[in-house]
Amino acid sequence: MSIASSLVGLDDIRAAAERIAGTCLRTPVVPFVTPEGSVPWAVKAEGLQPTGAFKLRGATNAVALLDDAQRRAGVVTHSSGNHAQAVAYAARVAGVHATIVIPDNAPEVKVAATRRWGADVVMVAPSQRHARAEEIAAETGAALIPPYDDARVIAGQGTVGLEIVEQVPDLATVVVPVSGGGLVSGVAAAVKALRPDVRVVAVEPELAADLAEGWAAGERRVWSVADTSRTVADGLRTDSVGVLNWDHITAYVDDVVTVSEEEILAAVGAVVRGARVVVEPSGAVAAAAVLKGVVGDTAGTTVAIASGANIDPAVLARLV
Amino acid sequence: MSIASSLVGLDDIRAAAERIAGTCLRTPVVPFVTPEGSVPWAVKAEGLQPTGAFKLRGATNAVALLDDAQRRAGVVTHSSGNHAQAVAYAARVAGVHATIVIPDNAPEVKVAATRRWGADVVMVAPSQRHARAEEIAAETGAALIPPYDDARVIAGQGTVGLEIVEQVPDLATVVVPVSGGGLVSGVAAAVKALRPDVRVVAVEPELAADLAEGWAAGERRVWSVADTSRTVADGLRTDSVGVLNWDHITAYVDDVVTVSEEEILAAVGAVVRGARVVVEPSGAVAAAAVLKGVVGDTAGTTVAIASGANIDPAVLARLV
């Protein structure tokens, strides 16, 4: 099959796991207490990564794969969120210069979090972010590290799936939040290679359900950012999944479901109280799907990936 | 030395680590972001244990060491807090019956948390808790599992120290909250056996500073529960450290410091925001000492044990 040969495989993910071991945390799977007879479930606490989100895995793998000339020229990316911090941190650990292009409507707190790791920050109008990052790459020779549509990044995120399979012997279902699709691509590739019997379910906010629409239609769909920006899950506002990500999703994912804004906010509080794990709204959508009762079964353990914990403390206080 | 021969040793703690591996989590050490030139530090996130506190380690080790006759007769303890839940959970995992004696002024939420794990709960007047637990042990043959003054429990808690030494190569200081002294006894024994150069510092609330007073006087001191009950750190209200614990502390601990109520409450918020780790007031006293600037140095990493996360959500909301 022509597509399959271009997909990230188990060997790529296992190699990524070795590369990132010194920088990224092997995060715990924290069980929920559930009544007898209900779905046993747990959260994979990716918010404990040093930058507060799983994104550090893919960024660290991509930086580790640079050749010597690229290391000297540095890296560049565009993001206002968890990927920006991840690339900045991974570059710093590797002793590589990083330039991060950030849209000038990004919150100051996220800009500061990126500068904290020593990255150069370039502020541009939101519509210029892709072009400016590519310009910098062309001018300086810096290697572009895309946030999700990239085999190195997908392999890094896939290490989350490797760990879950190792940590949960009676694993039945893995539930994964989706935006650009980097996490679900890698996790699904890893899980299906090792445990083809385990279900992998992708979850989106109803207000950013481009993948759910595309899944139903059988072709990748792109939404307007004006639409996807409505969701409180600020890490899941990408307008579509990536091309390489679409190929992984159609090859490996079993189902795509959606959750409402109310369900996402309720899940933040439920995860903090029930598993004592801090989670941001984007990181709570998988848990929201479990709590809604639309994924998982009693045949084994369901693991919801709590993908990040970068939440405004005032919002956290309101939701716990 | 006669005392030394009765202390828990590295072999006991390593054996405990093997016994508890299937039940307790190897918890992550989560770094704080600190400005250049300041003390680099991290928290050991014990609140991620299935019962929300390190106590599960000692209880699991004690239950695993029961002989067949004891297993048939079950276990008994007295506690209204994290040790009660730990014994109930450890017994359930091992298929052993547990009876927990709880003072009848304990909050309903803690009674429910103990019943949740299938333990029989016996409510008594607070002054009767020790006597009633011993009565039950005598009547039924159930094995008493004390909360801290017990070699099996100390060895279990010491596995926290083993893990920290393995997880943090440049370890310089370990900071440990103290109530009865089970955690600090085991951690100090493990750390000093493996890394005698690493400092171990014990921390108490000023309002429950029986150990700090005894440390200065050179002999174990007992406070009134009326006094120790004043602290917001409800897991640290024990009236004194145990006898076996005093021997470990004087043999292995480098210093004892105290923190105020305000410092404890501020540390809860700082840990949640800075490390994205949920912590209860009792679990935040070690972090409070680091933030106060009275422990740690820039020569290596300081690890503060965040011992538990069983915090009332309303209190958490107020402190983040």
DSSP 3-state assignment of A279? coil
Q: What is the DSSP string of chain B?
A: -TTGGGS--HHHHHHHHHHHTTTS----EEEPP--TTS--EEEEEGGGSTTSBTHHHHHHHHHHT--HHHHHH-EEEE-SSHHHHHHHHHHHHHT--EEEEEETTS-HHHHHHHHTTT-EEEEE-GGGHHHHHHHHHHHH-PEE--SSSSHHHHHHHHHHHHHHHHH-TTEEEEEEE-SSSHHHHHHHHHHHHH-TTSEEEEEEEGGG-HHHHHHHHTS-----HHHHTTSS-GGG--SS--HHHHHHHHHH--EEEEE-HHHHHHHHHHHHHHH-B---GGGGHHHHHHHHTSS--TTSEEEEEE-B----HHHHHHH-
Contacts 24+ apart (CB under 8 A), B222-227: none
* CB within 8 Å: A30 and B48: yes
**Comparing C-alpha atoms, which of B48, B45, B50, B51 is closest to residue B29?**
B45
Q: Which residues contact A109 (CB under 8 A, 6 or more apart)?
A: A312
Residue in B with minimal Cα distance to A310: B276
Nearest CA in chain A to B278: A276
CATH 3.65.10.10 assigned to domain B4-52+150-319? The reply is: no
**Which strands sit side by side in the sheet containing A120-124, from one edge to the other?**
A120-124, A98-103, A75-78, A143-144
The architecture CATH gives domain A56-144: 3-Layer(aba) Sandwich (3.40)
- CA B298-B302-B303 angle, to 5 degrees, is 165
Q: Is B276 on the interface with A (CB under 8 A)?
A: yes
d(CA B172, CA B299): 7
| Pairwise CB contact (< 8 Å): A320 & B313 | yes
Contacts of B320 in chain A (CB under 8 A): 313, 316-317, 320
Q: What is the least distance, in Å, from the CA of A109 to any CA of chain B?
A: 13
Query: Which pLDDT tens digits describe chain B residue by residue (320 residues)?
Result: 344 559 999 999 999 999 999 999 999 999 988 777 778 999 999 999 999 999 999 999 999 999 999 999 999 999 878 999 999 999 999 999 999 999 888 777 778 888 988 899 999 988 888 899 999 999 999 999 999 999 999 999 999 999 999 999 999 999 999 999 999 999 999 999 999 999 999 999 999 999 999 999 999 999 998 899 899 998 898 889 999 999 999 999 999 999 999 999 999 999 999 999 999 999 999 999 999 999 988 889 999 999 999 999 999 999 99
Q: Do the domains B56-144 and B4-52+150-319 match in fold?
A: yes
| Closest residue, chain A, to B52 (C-alpha) | A276
Q: Do A28 and B31 count as a contact with CB atoms less than 8 A apart?
A: no
Residue of B2, B6, B44, B55 marked catalytic? B55
Tokens 């951690």 — which residue? Answer: B187
Q: Are B47 and A269 in contact (CB < 8 Å)?
A: no
CB contact under 8 A, A30 and B27: no
Amino acid at B3: I
pLDDT confidence bin for A282, thresholds 50/70/90: very high
Chain A interface includes B316 (CB < 8 A): yes
- Is B185 among the catalytic positions? no
Q: Rounded to whole angstroms, how far apart are CA atoms B217 and B219? A: 6
- State whether B25 and A30 contact (CB < 8 Å): yes
Domain residue ranges in chain B: 4-52+150-319, 56-144
| Residue A311 to residue A309: CA distance in whole angstroms | 6
pTM metric for this prediction: 0.93
Q: What is the pLDDT of residues A62-72, one digit of tens each?
A: 999 999 999 99
Do the Cβ atoms of A316 and B320 come within 8 Å?
yes
CA distance A313 to B270: 10
Is A44 among the catalytic positions? no
Tens-place pLDDT, residues A80-129: 789 999 999 999 999 999 999 998 887 777 788 889 888 999 999 888 88
The alpha carbon of residue B282 is apart from the nearest alpha carbon of chain A, in Å, by 15
More confident residue, A32 or A177: A177
Q: Which of B33, B273, B310 sits opposite A116 (nearest CB)?
A: B33
- ipTM above 0.95? no
CATH for A4-53+150-319? 3.40.50.1100
Distance from CA of B135 to the nearest CA of A (A): 32
Does the beta carbon of A109 lie under 8 angstroms from any beta carbon of chain B? no
